[in-house]
A and B are shown apart, each in its own frame.
Chain A
Amino acid sequence: MSTESHGFNLREWIFTTDHKRIGVLYLIGSIAAFSVAGIQALMIRIEQSSLGPTLVHDVATGGNQYNVWLYFHGAAMILGFLIPGLTGFAANYFLPLMIGAKDVAFPRVNAFSVWLFYAGIVMALLTFVVGDPPDVMWTGYPPYSVLTSGNTAFYVFTVHLLGFASILGAVNFLVTVIYMRAPGMGWNQLNMFVWSTVTAFVIQLVFVPVLASAVTMLLFDKYLGTHFFDPANGGDVLLYQNLFWFYSHPAVYVILLPALGILYEVVATSAKNMIFNYKAAVYGGMWGIVLISGEVWIHHLYIAGMPNWIRIGMMVSTLLISVPVGLLTISLFGTLFRGAITYTIQMKYAAACLFLFLIGGLTGIPLAMTVMTTHLSETSFVHAHFHYIMGIFSTFAVFAAVYYWFPKMTGKLAGEKLGNLGFWFNFIGVNVTFMPLFIIGVQGMPRRYWNYEMFPQFEPFHKVALLGAILVAIGMGMTILNWVISAISGEKSPANPWKSASLEWTDCANPPGPGNFTKDVVIKPEWTPYNYV
């Protein structure tokens, strides 16, 4: 049963079963993880801005120190920010509103899920407290993760907690969408964001347990003396990489799909257009990704030992996934076509996302091809590619979501001046940071090197990248500050500031009260959430 009270009550927030409050808790936790991960990113950029030790204490231990930053940055960004930010915050708050549901199917399970998420965040933050922090990237590859003196257990338990939280979330929302849609709401009347989260949750549900089992066996290898991944004792070291990427490549789509769903909401509302090719985008695009996402993981292992026929097969399936992704991209651009576009802050972020998506997508094609990956693998080209397609793209989508639904959550409008300024700092900053990494990646700059004295020619590029990172840090700071200031003292928002046709705007108060809707929602057959004609 959802509860709501007047005024702030910490106990109520901790023990809340209201999906909207849980959504806000996810947002706060994920922004906290994002902030710490961002500081780590800045430290990484500073370290690489000059040859030799810059921030690390000394040459002998510099590698370990740098590895810890990489570990936290990667794990916190993916497991602590992007996945919970998109499927935790956005889905929790807005999915039930979009389908006309008064609550979620299992409110208590939902509450338990957010507690697990916070436990996972705390576990990850303990990295900075324990004597031997984990230094295994976010991948945890053996044999290093087994042999290192770092506490790999922290990594494993963080994955367990956040993974379990996401499985519970997935079950909850799938049941909610299946059974709790407003009377009369058909499958083809769902918001694109709802479809995108449904498909993302299907992927989560199927693949997360595989990652959980892989890291559990890693834990056994390190602490209980088993040899699952130890070839010297009959194990198979490459199997870990296979199991890890079997989940972790689909995890890219767990991030990508809801991010695209948010873009659809923002783009359709800002352009006042129907979704272009709705059915093709949903059934061909989103479900196409679900179908193929489990057959592409090998491209992360091209340079590991494997028969050529597997490499070639996986190259084909990896390239094939560009078909559903292409359907979604065409649909997004088509939705903008001849639209009366209003360039709000969220629309600026959405437009930036389309640009970032294009760069990230196009640079993914050479990485899908075996002959080119052999050259580009483990270079900063890969680093720049996945930051464009996953890191920045999805972060910008979360920012677009927060700006788009800010009036819904707070009843206030987010400040435009600081918001726009933050956007331009962020947009220029990320491109200044990562474009140079593409260039030096092609020229052979390896990933994950804290000291690259053997490649002094790349130093100027790293300095430019640092400049970009500083711009991003300023932009992010402005953005978060803008939210806080606007939430406290922002201008009161009209009921439907963006003139959206979606249920969360047309039938809910800002913010929605207990039970979400003031009257029962009944959907007519001709209704769509994008009825702008």
Chain B
Amino acid sequence: MWRNWILLGLATLALLCAVTPVHAKFYQHKESDVDPRVFRIDEQKYMGVKLDLDTALIDEEGQTRSFKEYVGKPTILIWSYFTCDGSCAAVNAELVNLLEKAKVGTVSGDVTVLTISFDAADTVETLKAFRTKLALPPSLSKGWRFALFKNPEQIKSITGSTGFKFFWAPQDQIFYHPNVFIFLTPDGRISRYLYALVNSPKDVSLALLEAKQGNFRINETLDLAISLCYSYNYKEGRYTVNIPLFVGVGSLMLGVSTLIGSVFFYRLRKNKGGMAK
């Protein structure tokens, strides 16, 4: 009988021994969770910053190109890494979705999307695999470019110049990084950040309009007029209707309508006076 108790005790002990590391690992994992606020980009600090356009990149064909060759039109920059099996693919896919819904179908003509890896271990092969997996629709594929850093020692400084922070988590074998679309003007300045996965096609359209820096086409006049109705809401990280602007514009009508009313009243009074006479 006592043997049974000993066996039960040993089994319990063994179970405890087995569970404790799991338990420890679980809690260790929780403790290692990164506060997302760490990755928050100080937008006011980085807006307007011009990227180093002489930075050497490697394109999909393995050729060396400078950053300058990719900009020249409004550009959406995504820092990703191509072996990422988590958010990177989702973020890029989300942008495909947003651009299609926003009807920015002319990515080749008006807009460039640039996905650059911040992982020094990435190669042209991983790049191609990532691109293939993304399965870009034809309307987007021409203007959507993928690149690597030619000089890995530049990665920290160039990504850092956009306020982008990342680090390798050995226990998870992944990079922790923010998921953000960085909108660049044609001369390579940061004009807006939109955090991925929380934005709408409207936000993307408005951010692209901002990035155009006044180089509008005639058929975009209406879009420009509509864009004036919105302002970027830093708290919510999206564009919201600019209520004070509506109040201001509405008030423009007040004085004019008072004048029209007064003219009407004066004429009415005058006519009554004339009739009485």
Contact = CB atoms under 8 A, between A and B. Distances in A.
A binds B: yes
Interface of A: 105-106, 167, 170-172, 174-175, 178-179, 204-210, 212-214, 217, 228-229, 231-236, 239-240, 243, 246, 305, 307-310, 313
Contacts of A170: 255, 259
Which of B242, B244, B259 has most A Cβ within 10 Å?
A: B244
Contact of B248 (A233, A243, A308, A309): A243
Contacts, number: 91
A178 B263 contact: yes
12 contacts: A105-B262, A205-B256, A205-B258, A209-B252, A209-B255, A231-B235, A234-B233, A236-B244, A239-B231, A305-B48, A307-B214, A308-B214
A234 B234 contact: yes
Given A213-B248, A239-B245, A307-B214, A171 B235 contact: no
A217 B251 CA distance: 12
B248 A232 contact: no
Contacts of A232: 234-235
A305 to B, nearest CB: 7
Interface string B234-276: 1110001011110110111011101100110011001000000
A151 B63 CA distance: 65
A302 to B, nearest CB: 15
A217 B244 contact: yes
Given A172-B262, A175-B262, A207-B255, 20 more contacts: A170-B255, A170-B259, A174-B259, A175-B259, A175-B266, A179-B266, A205-B256, A209-B252, A209-B254, A212-B251, A213-B247, A228-B243, A232-B234, A233-B235, A234-B235, A234-B240, A243-B248, A307-B214, A308-B213, A313-B214
A208 B258 CA distance: 12
Contacts of A206: 252, 255-256
Contacts of A233: 235
A236 B236 CA distance: 13
A33 B262 CA distance: 30
Which of B231, B259, B270 has most A Cβ within 10 Å?
A: B259
B60 interface: no
B210 interface: yes
A236 B242 contact: yes
Contacts of B235: 231-234
B252 A239 contact: no
**Interface size bracket, B side:** 20 to 34
Q: Is the interface of B mostly helix, strand, loop or mixed?
A: helix
A179 B270 contact: yes
A246 B240 CA distance: 22
Which of B233, B247, B255 has most A Cβ within 10 Å?
A: B255
Given A167-B255, A206-B256, A214-B248, A236 B231 contact: yes
Contacts of B266: 105-106, 175, 179
Which of B236, B251, B263 has most A Cβ within 10 Å?
A: B251
A234 B240 CA distance: 8
Given A234-B236, A305-B48, A205 B244 contact: no
A106 B259 contact: no
Contacts of B243: 228
Contacts of A174: 259, 262
A229 B242 CA distance: 10
Contact of B213 (A205, A213, A236, A309): A309
A172 B252 CA distance: 18
A243 to B, nearest CB: 5
Contacts of A210: 248, 251-252
B244 A229 contact: yes
Contacts of B256: 205-206
Given A179-B266, A305-B48, A228 B259 contact: no
